[in-house]
Each structure stands twice: as C-alpha cells, then as structure tokens.
Amino acid sequence: MLVSCRGNVAEHQSVTTDSVITQAQLLGLERHEAYTVATIRDPWKQGGVLHRYVLVPADKPLPANLPEGTLVRTPLRSALVYSSVHTSLMRELGMFGSVKGVCDAQFFTDPEVTQAVKAGTIADCGSSMAPTIERVIAMQPDGILLSPYQDATYGQITTLDIPIIECADYMETTPLGRAEWVKFYGELLGQRERADSLYAAVEQAYNTLKNSVAAECRNRSLKVLTENVIQGVWNVPGGNSYMARILIDAGFIYPWADNTSTGSLNLDFNQVLAKAQNADIWLIKSFNIHTYADLKGSYSLNDQFRAFQEHKVYVCDTNLTRFYERFPFHPDVLLREYHNLSMGRLDQLQFFKPLAQ
C-alpha cells in the first residue's frame, strides 16, 4: 500500500477551501489548488486517524512538498469495489464505467453489475475476506473501495501497492453525515461539482422534510419496532446510529433512543419483547418474509407483538427493491418513506409494503 507521497516535480501555490465538510464527523476534506487531502477519522479510536489520502489529478505533475498520506491519482478509472452502495453512487456520479471489478458478486442485485460480471466486463474478484489476488492483479485497479472494520488487515491486497480506499461512511452517526461522504467520492472520481450539487439538494430536502415532520407530528407519535430475530439474534439500530436518527426524524418513538451505540445492538427475543411489545408499527427488511404465516413460522413467538396482532407489519423485500443502494446517500428518500408509513400514506410507499395476510 502507498503510505507516503512527496513530490518535487512542480511548485505550486496552495489554496485551501474552508468548510468543505459540515455534517460528517469522520471525514475531513482540504481542497488545495493542486491537490486535495482527505482525512478519514478512526471510528473506533477517539482522536485517531484511520487513513489520510492525497488526491492529485492524473493529468497534472506531482506538486512539490505534498503532505504525508496515500497518493491517489484521480479520477479513478479502474476501481475494485466491495459494495453495491458505492457502485450505485458511482453510476449516479456518471462514473459507473470505472467499476472494473467487484468482490462478493453474489450479493450485488444491480442488474447492470450482475450482467457485466456474467459477461466478464466486470471482474469477479471473489470474496471480500480473501480476494482472488491473480484477478485483482489482472484488472490493474487504480483504487480499491472497501468498508473498513475494527482492526482490519485486508490480507494480501495490502501488498499490491494499490491505494485502499477505506469507506467508513457507514459508521457516521447522522443521515446527512453519511450522505456528505459523496463529496469524497466526487473528488476520487473527478466529479466534484456534481457531488457537491447532489449533497446540497439532499441536505435541503432532508432538513425541509424534517422540519415539516416536527410540526405535523407534534401531537402524534407512534412507537416503531424494526427488523426481526434471526438464528436467535435480533439486530436493531443503536440509539446513536444514523438509522435510529432517521426513524426519530420521521416522527417515530424509537425504543432504544437512549442507547449511545452508533452501530447495531445484538439482542435476544426477550430483550426486544420487553422494550417493544406494544410497538404500534413493525418494519422488517427481508427477502423471505411475505405473509404473517411466514413471520410466525420464522419464530413462533412473533405473534406476541401488538403490531403483529393488529396487522401493522410492513416489509421491504430486499430482493425486489434498491433499498440498500438508495438510502445511504439519499436519506431524504428514506425519511419520506418512514414518514409516509407513520402517517398511513401507504399509496406513496417506494420500499415497504403491508405484510400479506
């Protein structure tokens, strides 16, 4: 992995644009005249830096006295991408053609990706836990986009002298904080103006709707339960996570709102029942639960929830919708979806549908 970059090819005047990042807590951007510095803060170590990148246009000579960091020549023209979240964003930024390889191809539902993998125009580089090194070398990526995790090592790919882009956006604690990472990806892909414009529109839409919800739901709140127990474990958003924040901004009462976790809480059935048995509405993301019989069949005690008994369960079929690809950088869309659910406007839903009888 490239860990340092210092050049002496061309002198430059450095100009920094202030206030590039306003919402993201884990991302810093410094835009200079000849390069951009992106600092990724460590989500698992307060005050720590996970990675620092120095982004320099590929058609320009390396400036002198570059700061320390991983050198990335932009725009990325050949990227290995681990997540459909980022391939979808690359399409939105007009740079889908830069996706030359993926890991965990079986989890991509985007038809354009799956068809390209079958055709061989996008390389299937195997598992994200142990990529097929020969295929990675053959595709010659100029960047590898992956989601980091605590104490990650990434295996053999770190020996290939290819910049590893640690996409920690999913660890942000607010919806707009995560969405603002589009500015970083815009820098990587040479689409700064397009990315900045996209975020500005999302920010305005989210805040406008949030303020409207606050007024509309002042005297009306529903308690919400999310997800379902799978193999004895029920994962719900931590109270300080961006998913919990969207639910709260949509006007719901969230049972774990006082929790401070930014990730998921791994609970058992009884812990969830104790906090949310009387929830007014139950939202589930699943690909194999289509009826109340399916839900009860997946765990026999699911019928103890009030939302089950009153038929207030709604399911997002993750095989048929682009939910996971859409909402990370468009939290305004998910906020509207949740608010429509809270208000009973079922004819305006994009992702969730009432569970069939």
pLDDT digits (tens, 9 = 90+) for 168-187: 999 999 999 999 999 999 99
The residue behind tokens 């990650």 is: 152
For residue 109, name the pLDDT band (cuts at 50, 70, 90): confident
Query: What one-character DSSP code corresponds to residue 219?
Result: T
Q: How many CB atoms neighbour CB 43 within 10 A?
A: 20
Q: Quickly name the fold that domain 27-199 has.
A: Rossmann fold (3.40.50)
pLDDT number for residue 19:
66
Task: Compute the average pLDDT of residues 101-112.
Answer: 94
Q: How many helical (H) and strand (E) elements, i.e. helices and strands, does the chain have?
A: 12, 17
What pLDDT score was predicted for residue 18?
52
CA dihedral 231, 234, 237, 238 (to 10 degrees): -110
The pLDDT tens digits of the residues spanning 34-86 come to 999 999 999 999 999 999 999 999 999 999 999 999 999 999 999 999 999 99
Q: 215 or 45, which is more confident? A: 45
The structure's pTM equals 0.92
Residue 126 above 90 pLDDT?
yes
Cα separations (Å) of 246 from 15, 100, 197, 251, 257? 36, 33, 22, 9, 11
What confidence category does residue 219 fall into, taking pLDDT thresholds of 50, 70 and 90? low
Asked if pLDDT for residue 280 goes beyond 60, the answer is: yes
Confidence of residue 7 (pLDDT cuts 50, 70, 90): very low
Is 14 a residue whose pLDDT tops 70? no
Q: For a pLDDT cut of 70, what percent of the chain falls above it?
A: 94
Query: Domain map of the chain by residue range?
Result: 27-199, 217-354
Q: What is the mean pLDDT of the chain?
A: 93
Q: In this predicted structure, what is the pLDDT of residue 33?
A: 93
The two tokens of residue 274 are 């104790």
Class of domain 217-354: alpha beta
- Give the mean pLDDT of 88-105: 97
Task: Answer whether 206's CB lies under 8 Å from 176's CB.
Answer: yes
Per-residue pLDDT at 63: 94
* 3-state SS assignment for residue 282: strand
DSSP at 126? B
Does the pLDDT at position 10 exceed 60? no
Q: pLDDT value at position 6?
A: 36
Question: Does residue 9 surpass a pLDDT of 50?
Answer: no
Q: What is the pLDDT of residues 16-31, one digit of tens each?
A: 455 699 999 999 999 9
Spatial CA neighbour of 122 closest among 109, 103, 148: 103
Note every long-range contact of 179-183, with CB atoms under 8 Å and residues 24 or more positions apart, other chains counting.
179/23, 179/203, 179/206, 179/328, 179/329, 179/330, 179/331, 180/21, 180/22, 180/23, 180/24, 180/27, 181/24, 181/27, 181/329, 182/89, 182/93, 182/329, 183/20, 183/21, 183/27, 183/29
Using N-to-C axis directions, what is the helix angle for 111-119 and 84-92, rounded to 10°? 100
* Domains 27-199 and 217-354 alike in fold: yes
Residues with Cβ within 8 Å of residue 49, at least 6 apart in sequence: 39, 40, 41, 42
